[in-house]
Structure 1
Amino acid sequence: MEVKLSVRHIKSGKSLADLTGFKASSTIKDVKLWYHQLNPKLDINRISFRVEPRGKTLKDDQTLLSTGIAFKGEIYFKDLGPQIGWTTVFLTEYAGPLVVYLLFYIRPSIVYGAAAANLPYAKVVNIAAICWTAHYAKRLFETVFIHRFSNATMPIMNIFKNSIYYWGFAAFVSYFINHPLYTVPMYGDKQIYGGLALFIFAELGNLSVHVALRNLRPAGSRVRKIPFPTINPFTWLFYLTSCPNYTYEVMAWVGFSVMAQSVPAAMFTLAGFYQMAVWAKGKHRNYVSEFRDYPRIRTPIIPFLL
């Protein structure tokens, strides 16, 4: 069965090209490659196709038959605009907070005054700096050696939006924790080491889940599977939530906020929780709709609640 396609602009509906030679089993990636040949100056990562103008972007591995395009004979094109690699975005947005926090940690005179750098540091301030550094060093390590991205690129504006969020909160949190007038936690070592224990526990859990997710997807593929717990106890949270990596991430920042008794850190935690809850709900919906045997006991991010 030969399929003829009319490529139309997503906004105007104007016909941009008529493509022939496809089969019902041809994929969206095949159509992208063909359209790229017609427009070689257009980066293939900027090409997005949809069944309807207001529909979702089609995945590269979807076939013309499965999407219904084989019968309709029309597909809508959208230019996603300038793109940038996911790895580049992640390295930028994670390296920034690491550098910004440490700049405040050394108490520059332009921020805290000439004598600030010579004043003693509370023990918890040093611990907080180590925790912050370890967290973002872990994220950088995961970006390079663990994460496997389903898409090669994202819109270039994301690097500015994400960097403002991460870099801005890093400055906000570190300014107050590293301030010479910083007040140590009310309950002393119990609060400090209790928060630190939760932070370390959650960081190990987050790393364990990321490794488990990586092992689900062979290198260079877009394979999607239901994530299940492994022999690693930290992954057992998969029994109850769809995105335990987000659960552990929030848990880590709760521990950090308690340890440092920091309102800015708590605000950062709340903002992060809100965004991760949105992402977790979306991923949970995708799992449920894609896999008929998906465990119904799971919730997106908080066991039994959310």
Structure 2
Amino acid sequence: MKLTIASRNPKSTKFPITLELEGTPETIKVQDVALAIEKKFPKYYPDRQRLTDLDKKALDVDKTLAEAGVVDGPQIGWRTVFLIEYGGPLLIHPIFYYASKLFYGADFQHSPMQTTVYYMCMAHFLKRELETLFVHRFSHGTMPFLNVFKNSGHYWLLSGINLAYWVYGPWFAAGKAASVRSDVWLYGSVAVWAWAELSNLATHITLRNLRPAGTRRRAIPFGYGFDLISCPNYFFETIGWTVVCFLSTSWSAWLFNIVATGQMYVWAVKKHKNYKKEFKDYPRNRKAMFPFIA
């Protein structure tokens, strides 16, 4: 199998290198990789090496590559993965919204609440697609192709089919008591949601500006949102979806939001710990995702 080894130093002139090893991830050990590097660069004998995964966690030399999380097979770029993930809801929501008779057996007029939530969801995922194309810079190059199905399931099923089916149904149609929203409720929700979305975009731009194109440089983020928490992008994302929950009052929106927030909190805690470990001068007053809480 072919294995690419990159250096943590973006200015390295020797790395990345590509090694060709006989065997599979199940038979090749991390120690074998270290010996192959030594063969190519004799001065880098195994005791002088520190092999890590993309999260900079040291690999156990006695484990196989498979045990260390290295897999063989077709790869797909992370940018493409995100485009596929967010593209699902962009296709699914219009189908449920405009083809009501196909799914609910009858035509009906959507309520102002349903129309507002529809445009919120479409704008959110369109924003995510544009950020993927023009804002985000990815430290990880590729991932196993089959993982795209697992990653997309969350968006295509929970924020796609599940959310669209239950929010755009006849039980929330115009004239139904369950769909009635006061102007304060409706327009107030839009205002808070728009603030959360724009705040999320601002934090993404801050993170982009920390990493020059073509590098994996890491630095401490400062500025709007980052003074209190390490991952304000996740915090603002949660606020945006919580607004959708209160506006729609649908259990499907709450289900997606709870699952998404839980996953983002796990990521936030991991990133927060990595920041503190990597940067000795990292601000001590910051929490991971929720200001003053955690």
TM-score (norm 1): 0.76
- Asked whether the equivalents of residues 193 and 259 of structure 1 are also in contact (C-alpha less than 8 Å), the reply is no
1:167 aligns with 2:156: yes
Gaps spanning 5+ residues in structure 2: where? 1-18
Aligned residue identity for 1:199 = W
Matched with 1:20 is 39
Structure that is richer in strand per residue: 1
- Tell me the CA shift for residue 120 of structure 1: 1.7
Name 1:232's counterpart in structure 2: none
Letter in 2 for 1:57: D
Aligned partner of 1:180 in structure 2 is 170
Instruction: State the shift of 1:188 in Å.
Output: 2.4
Q: Which structure 1 segments of 5+ residues have no match?
A: 27-48, 230-234
Q: Counterpart in 1 of 2:8?
A: none
Matched, 1:209 2:203: yes
Which amino acid in the other structure matches residue 53 of structure 2?
A: T
Q: Is the 8 A contact 1:280 1:301 kept in 2?
A: yes
Aligned-partner Cα distance in 2 for 1:158–1:68: 22
**Change beyond 3 A, Cα 1:77–1:158:** closer
Return the offset for 1:156.
1.6
Identity of aligned pairs, percent?
A: 38
Give, in whole Å, the separation in 1 of the partners of 2:214 and 2:53.
20
Deviations 1:106-129 (A, max 9, x none): 13433111x31xx22211111111
After TM superposition, give the deviation of residue 80 of structure 1 in Å. Answer: 1.9
CA contact (8 A) 2:210 2:221 kept: yes
C-alpha spacing 1:20/1:264, structure 2 compared with 1 (3 Å): same
Q: In structure 2, what residue type is equivalent to 1:140?
A: E
Give the match for residue 242 of structure 2: 254
Q: 1:124 aligns with which of 104, 113, 127?
A: 113
Task: State yes or no: 1:221 paired with 2:215.
Answer: yes
What SS class does the counterpart of residue 154 from structure 1 fall into?
A: strand
RMSD: 3.1
* Pairwise CA distance, 1:68: 11
CA gap 1:215/1:125 in 2 versus in 1, 3 angstroms: same
Query: What does 1:41-190 correspond to in 2, within 5 Å?
Result: 51=51, 57=53, 77-78=65-66, 79-82=70-73, 83-113=75-105, 115-116=106-107, 119-169=108-158, 170-182=160-172, 183=176, 184-185=178-179, 188-190=182-184
Match for 1:20: what amino acid?
K
TM-score by structure 2 length? 0.78
1:191 & 1:215 partners in 2: Cα distance?
36
Q: Secondary structure at the match of 2:109?
A: coil
1:86-145 deviations in whole A, cap 9, x for unaligned? Answer: 0111000101111101110013433111x31xx222111111111111000000000000
Contact 1:100–1:171 (CA<8 Å) still a contact in 2? yes
Report the 3-state secondary structure (helix = DSSP H, G, I; strand = E; otherwise coil) of the residue aligned with 1:239: coil
- Whether the 8 Å contact between 1:50 and 1:75 is mirrored in structure 2 is no
- Whole-angstrom distance in 1 between the partners of 2:59 and 2:150: 36
